[in-house]
Structure 1
Amino acid sequence: MGDRAPSWAPPLLAVQFLTRLPVPVLARLTPTQASDGFTRAMAWLPAVGSLIGAFTAGVYVAAGLVWPPVIAALLALAIEAVLTGAFHEDAVADFCDAFGGTARGEEALRIIRDSRIGSYGALGLGLAVGLRLAAIVMLPADLAVAAIIGAATAGRLWAVLLAAILPPPVTGTGIAARIGGRMRWRRAAGAALLTIPGVLPLALLSPWSLATSMATGMVLLWWLARFLRARIGGSTGDCLGFAAYIGQLVVLLAAVAA
């Protein structure tokens, strides 16, 4: 067995990374292959995001047959959190705790690594989830499905793009340190191609909202990269997760405004 992961490994590693679904076949990889496969798996994050979004949208539609939209949306988000382990929600809380105040450098990195949630994190997470819930409820049923899937897809692309734009801090550890310094734009381009199927339904139903969210997303990503470079000198895994969640919000809010 070589050092390069087999072609089937990167998409399955992306599934393992973004969800709690067991992928026992990955135990066959050597540590070197797993490291190589994880780096290549970044391109598959939008595709896995599409699957997560389709699952969430399916729960929302099914629950809507029994309960009002607000309850259906809450159930969909709750069950999605079980599927993903509230992966990005945890990142939002950590990000808000670290940057809600004036902390910089090592102090900010220490806060973002702390598993405890403070007042900034609690408020930021509550507002983020509340905005997502409100946006889903406000959308017509057909557009809601397309928007949920499109947002889940585009949000993961945001994480990939931020990793390509901004490497981890010099003292960084964890997810961003594993992929950030080695992230290549060709993998980001591959992620962009794999984004197309997930956003296509929204593009057909509401092209203006998709175009608006993409344009807004590029501006916000540029600002976020500058902000993080100034505050901690790079991006961490929680920063990538925060970008993914905000990317979802931008798409959903644009769909509501269209």
Structure 2
Amino acid sequence: MKHELTLLLVATQFLTRLPLPALRRFDPDWLHQSSRHFPGVGLLVGSLCALAYGLGEFMFGPLVAAVMATALGVYITGAFHEDGLADTCDGLGGGLTRERALTIMKDSRLGTFGTLGLVLALLLKITLLASLSPAAAMAALVLAHGGSRLACISLIALLPYGGDPEHAKAKPMAQQLTHAQWWLASLWLLLPLWLLWPLFSPGAWLLAAVLTMLTTLHMYRLLKRRLGGYTGDGLGATQQLAEIAIYAGLAAQL
């Protein structure tokens, strides 16, 4: 249990900018192992964003609340996943070959494809959240942040690393996740799903699940075909798109 708590701390330090106590010692392999706690970190981020939404909705209304919640998520994570989405859009949109796409994705400059992808993703998240009731929007934030990170690490379990492991920004993340680790990661979502189930109709739950799986499958096929596997930027893009998919499923008026 102590080791798992350490891994949770490592995962939180890797994915967020939250002020946390420093580790007395660090094993690089812990970063790879900590990926099974990424959904737990997502639930934490989503809960903080839900609080921001509740405050914003009380003071200003749903649209401003949605912007506040989205902005807080970007701030807490340091735009970690948004950066991955923009780089992936630039790389896959402007690179005709695998090598060229990887080169573009390493470039810190933002291109047309990345700008468009980032702006459209933020607009979708904000408008979908604003279309929900306050309680449903707060629940959706928690579920989407947790569930999208499970979708993200699914690619680590299904694909090899697509870039050069020696030049990876976080080399331990260039290792594949075992299926057992993926199942452990999925346990993070059981309690939130049980608690928040009554807030949405069965049709909304089903649509959210289907859209998330289709999004993850699309990214799996796209990254495998274009890059030969996942990259850190590809994982960030998957998280962002899966988050939108969950909002869309829960917000759809069936």
Asked if these proteins are the same fold (TM beyond 0.5), I'd say yes
- Offset of 1:179 from its aligned partner? 2.6
Q: Hey, what does 1:38 align to over in structure 2?
A: 31
Deviations 1:19-44 (A, max 9, x none): 10133332x124xx2x2211111111
Asked whether the equivalents of residues 210 and 255 of structure 1 are also in contact (C-alpha less than 8 Å), the reply is yes
My pick for the range that moved more, 78-87 or 240-249, is 78-87
Q: Hey, what does 1:253 align to over in structure 2?
A: 248
3-state DSSP of counterpart to 1:20: coil
Matched, 1:142 2:135: yes
Q: Hey, what does 1:215 align to over in structure 2?
A: 210
Matched, 1:191 2:188: no
Q: 1:85 to 1:184 in 2, by over 3 A?
A: same
Q: Hey, what does 2:194 align to over in structure 1?
A: 200
Matched, 1:126 2:122: no
Q: Percent identity?
A: 33
What is the one-letter code of the residue matched to 1:51?
Answer: L
Q: Hey, what does 1:6 align to over in structure 2?
A: 3
5+ unaligned residues in a row in structure 2: which ranges?
none
Greater than 4 Å deviation, 4+ residue runs: none
1:235 to 230, 236, 241: 230
Asked whether the equivalents of residues 82 and 240 of structure 2 are also in contact (C-alpha less than 8 Å), the reply is yes
Q: 1:83 to 1:39 in 2, by over 3 A?
A: same
Deviations 1:216-237 (A, max 9, x none): 3223322221211111111100
Q: Hey, what does 1:65 align to over in structure 2?
A: 58
Matched, 1:23 2:20: yes
Distance in 2 between residues matched to 1:253 and 1:242, nearest whole Å: 17
Q: Hey, what does 2:46 align to over in structure 1?
A: 53
Q: How many residues align?
A: 250
Asked whether the equivalents of residues 45 and 157 of structure 1 are also in contact (C-alpha less than 8 Å), the reply is yes
Distance in 1 between residues matched to 2:123 and 2:219, nearest whole Å: 22
Q: Hey, what does 1:166 align to over in structure 2?
A: 159
Give the structure-2-normalised TM-score: 0.92
